[in-house]
Chain A
Amino acid sequence: MISVSAEAIYRDIRVEPSELAEKLAEKYGYLPYMVQRYILMLGIAETHKLLEAFEKPVKPVVRANTLLLEPDRLASRLDQLGFILEPIPWDTTSYRVVGMGEGSPSIGATHEYRKGYYYVHRDSAPLVPSTLLVYEYRGSVLDTCAAPGGKTTHIAQLLGDKYAIVANDLVLYRIRALIGHILRMRIASVRTIWSDARKLPRLVKKRFGRVLVDAPCSGEGTIMIDPGRKTRTRLLDLARIVKREIEILWSSIEMLSEEGVLAYVTCSIAPEENEYVIAKILEQRNDIELVDPPIKLFNWSSGISSFAGHRFPREVEKCIRIWPHRHGMIGMTICFIAKTRR
């Protein structure tokens, strides 16, 4: 197990907000350190665009449960119910809900939803990691922080409900929701376990060809959905979150079989939670390497290799960054790590 201290991380990631960052933070209602990091990553002009993008809500996305019906049949049924759908160009099973008729039920309360015909995602970005992780893969998968189950049920669908998926989470009420989705969508391939992801290497002997780590994060990419995140995470809180992310990622790598691939995902644009975490792990392991995504779904951005005086290993550029102002989605970062022979 890796040993890291939140205080050391705090000292490492501390930034001093500039006058401009203070001003923008006040205007948009953020903690100043957050805006300072945006300026450091993106420059001033793009920071304005990002802050504006966070002010615009994103529309939810429905993913057809292809185990039960064809996507076009779902689309035509939702159309009958008054929903206006737009296809997602790079995912033929999913549609963005851009409008609804007067008197339509909410998208999460239709009969079709209850019957398990679809899953409602907050946005299309969460479709990316599962699609890429199991691309052309057939075998078992571990989802270390699985609840409430959007990515778990997506993986089950992509694998045709034919390969075992072990879905773990620590939080019981979230596991209850995960099981609800598994039942509703009539998925049989998921085994739901209850543990701290950091303890899994000690408690589970099996190793997996694919591991998904959708780490509990600051949610700094989802400010348009939850504006409370503009002020919720102080820098010391962020350091604590980063510590947990490093520990979870370390343990999750331990769960990989040789030549297995892991997707490390956060719904955060914070480099501290992404490239910094990866760099800390790479510093201490010689049995992993970052790998490119197997296909390009759309024109996403690359990981950043330097930030606020940190120089990360150049290979973090293989990570995927989804930016709200560039891609019209929630912010998300995805890195693929392959386990090599020691």
Chain B
Amino acid sequence: MLHREDEEVGVVHQTRKIRVRAGVLAKNYIALISSYLREKLCVNPSRYIKYPLHYTCFNDICIVHEETGKYYSVTLLYSGQWIGVMRGSGVYLSPLLYERVYSDNGYRAAIVVAERGVKNFLYGKDILAESIVEKYPPLDNPVAVLDEYDYRVIGVAEPSRRMGNVFKNVYDLGIFLRELS
């Protein structure tokens, strides 16, 4: 049985197995994205994202993109560029956005990972120091993970001080198989 209810920040739709939420991204998340773009990637955020941003969550996985709400009178669940992914209390850039920035300005806040590390990362594992073949500072915040084979961004990792030189998997492109298929 379909269940719908309106929430302050968005709309919740629920079926027996899937709970979908969609709405306008809260200001604190937008501030996080903007400051990361400005301070870590050294670019003007307005060149890469159009405000307001929106989110769509399927159960626990939340995608940040450009538009939700209504398309005429129909529920619009996803539209435009993929901007990022929300995980826990954080929001992280999408591979698409990282690659646009890198294409214009070169690499920053990125690690390049060898084949074995890529394989493990795409299965949701963390990245060990010995898998990293190149580093592009700053590395004290979330970093883009690039595949050494073609320098494509395959996800985002965060340095873990507690675990030594490990970069913890925040999200990787395997989420589409694991959580969205």
Contacts and interface: CB of A to CB of B under 8 A. Distances in A.
A257 B147 CA distance: 45
Nearest to B63: A183
B53 interface: no
A101 B172 CA distance: 26
A195 B176 contact: no
Contacts of A176: 18, 20, 58, 180
Contacts of B96: 186, 188
Contact of A206 (B67, B72, B78, B95): B72
Nearest to B77: A192
Interface residues of A, number: 33
B15 A183 contact: no
Interface in B28-78: 56, 58, 63, 67, 71-78
A157 to B, nearest CB: 16
Contacts of A108: 177
A37 B180 CA distance: 39
Contacts of A195: 74-75
Contact of B75 (A173, A184, A193): A193
Interface in B1-46: 13, 15, 17-18, 20
Interface in A155-183: 166, 168, 172-173, 175-177, 179-183
Interface in A186-228: 186, 188, 190-195, 200, 202-206
Nearest to A180: B180
Nearest to A188: B81
Given A177-B180, A180-B176, A180-B180, A194 B77 contact: yes
Interface string B76-117: 111111100000000000111000000000000000000000
Given A191-B79, A195-B75, 9 more contacts: A175-B77, A176-B18, A179-B63, A188-B96, A193-B75, A194-B13, A200-B74, A203-B74, A206-B72
9 contacts: A177-B181, A179-B56, A183-B176, A183-B180, A186-B82, A191-B71, A192-B76, A194-B75, A194-B77
Closest 7 CB pairs of A and B: A180-B180, A203-B73, A180-B176, A192-B78, A191-B79, A114-B173, A204-B72
